[in-house]
Structures are given as structure tokens and as C-alpha cells.
Amino acid sequence: MTIRRARLDDAPALARVHAASWRAAYRGLLPDAYLDDLSPRRLAVNWRRQILRARRAPQGALEANWLAERDGRAVGFATTGPCRARHLRGFAGELFMLYVDPAAQGQGVGGALFAHAAEALAELGFRWLVVGVLEANVRARGFYAARGLQPDGGRWVDRFAGGEAVPVVRYAGPLRPVWTP
């Protein structure tokens, strides 16, 4: 498996993994209508915009879209950048998304993407890593806890199709800790 920065021509593959992974991960947590309406074609347009925006942004070197491939096929992705929480800016990097194709789950792709994203953020000088997780997503919460992240008290509500409010909790942990218990 290789992990590299996503390119514009990766947008359709990113969109395919995005739609499939969200449908698998969020069925029962987000409205079915929202998940069923996820269009790889529309998502590909959004991915192209995101990749271009990250390239052109003043902090473009700090934002990245990572693609995991196995045998030339996209199997997962992660997006990283400076933390959105105002009080953590300059100190914390954020893992905005990390998703694995359902057919590749349980094969180490998520762990490899997490390690790659964390290392990339540490190399940029961030000292802390944060990630927002749907409160009801027990599997994702366990994934991040197994990698040393813990809830830090940050909470908010995301709104999806139909305006349904979905609680989110923030997990956080140090990058390159100098001491571990």
C-alpha cells in the first residue's frame, strides 16, 4: 500500500471511496435519504474543488488530501490541516476526514492513514492532533482511542440533509509525545 497526496485526477476515486465509506459507516447514524443521495459524480466535483483550494490557499502547504492505494486502486483517504478551533490555531493540526473503502476495512489501511496524517502534521510543527467524531459512532471512537486520542471536552452539532442535528465530540492527543506513561 502507498499513501500520497491526492491529485486532481484522483477525484473520481476519492468520491467512490467517500460515498461507499459514508454509506457503510453512517447507516443508522445519519438519515438514510442523505446517505442514499450521495452521488460520486457530485462528490468528485467537490473533491476537485477541495484539492485546488488546498493548493491555492495561503496555508496550502499545511492542508493536504492523502490517498491510500493498493495495487493502483484507491482504498482510503484522509484530509488534514490547521485546527479549525480558534483557541487551538497554530498549536493543533486537525484530521478532518479519514475513511476506508468498506472492502478494505480491517486490513490496516485506516491505521496507516492515521499514522501518515499524524506524522505529516507533526512535520509541519503542530504539537497536538484533534479530530471530530460523531458521538454515536462507537467504532470510530474506539479507533481513535486505540491510537491514544481521548475526548477533550470539545462538542458541537453538525447538520445534515433535512437539518437533522448530529452531536459531534472532539478527540485529541499529542503528536510525537516526549513522554508516555
Q: What is the DSSP string of 39-101?
A: -HHHHHHHHHHHHHHHHHSTTGGG-EEEEEEETTEEEEEEEEEE-SSGGGTTTEEEEEEEEE-
Q: Which CATH superfamily is domain 2-174 in?
A: Gcn5-related N-acetyltransferase (GNAT) (3.40.630.30)
List pLDDT tens digits, range 64-110.
Answer: 999 999 999 999 999 999 999 999 988 999 999 999 999 999 999 99
pLDDT for 181 equals: 59
Q: What is the pTM of this model?
A: 0.93
List pLDDT tens digits, range 119-172.
Answer: 999 999 999 999 999 999 999 999 999 999 999 999 999 987 767 899 999 999
List pLDDT tens digits, range 29-74.
Answer: 998 999 999 999 999 999 999 999 887 765 556 889 999 999 999 9
Helix (H) or strand (E) holding 18: helix 11-26
pLDDT for 164 equals: 82
pLDDT for 61 equals: 64
DSSP state of 31: -
Q: Are 62 and 82 in contact (CB under 8 A)?
A: yes
Q: Domain spans of the chain?
A: 2-174
| Residue 177 scores a pLDDT above 80 | no
Question: Which set of grid coordinates corresponds to residue 150?
Answer: 481521548
Query: Between the CA of residue 129 and those of 64, 85, 91, what are the distances in Å?
Result: 15, 12, 9
pLDDT for 58 equals: 58
Q: Are 97 and 125 in contact (CB under 8 A)?
A: no
